[in-house]
Amino acid sequence: MVENAQPLADRVILVTGAGYGIGRTAALTYARAGATVILLGRTQEALNDTYDLIEAESLPQPAVLPFDLEESDEDKYRLLAEAIDENFGHLDGVLLNAGVLGQRAPLQTYHWETWQKVMQINVNGQFALIKHLLPLLQAAPADASVIFTSSSVGRQGRAYWGAYSVSKFATEGLMQVLADELENTSQVRVNSLNPGGTRTTMRAMAYPAEDPASVPEAEDIMPAYLYLMSPQSGDIHGQALNARDLAETLA
Burial call 71-90: b when 16+ CB within 10 Å, e when fewer = beeeeebeebbeebbeebeb
Which residue's CB is nearer to ligand NAP, number 66 or number 231?
Answer: 66
**164 belongs to the catalytic site:** yes
Binder of ligand NAP out of 15, 118, 166, 202 (CB under 6 A)? 202
How far is the CA of 184 from the CAs of 142, 189, 191, 192, 238, in angstroms?
15, 10, 15, 19, 12
By CB under 6 A, is residue 72 in contact with ligand NAP? no
Residue in 222, 77, 65, 84 with CA at minimum distance from that of residue 140: 84
Least spacing, CB of residue 101 vs ligand NAP, in Å: 7
Q: Rounded distance, CA 69 to CA 16, Å?
A: 9
Q: According to the binding rule CB under 6 A, does residue 102 interact with ligand NAP?
A: no
Which range touches ligand NAP (CB under 6 A), out of 28-36, 56-64, 95-103, 108-116? 95-103
- Least Cβ distance, residue 216 to ligand NAP (angstroms): 9
Number of residues that bind ligand NAP (CB under 6 A): 27
- Range in contact with ligand NAP (rule: CB under 6 A) among 30-38, 92-100, 136-144, 219-227: 92-100
Output the residue with the shortest Cβ distance to ligand NAP: 21
Residues in the chain: 251
Beta bridge partners of 145: 93, 189
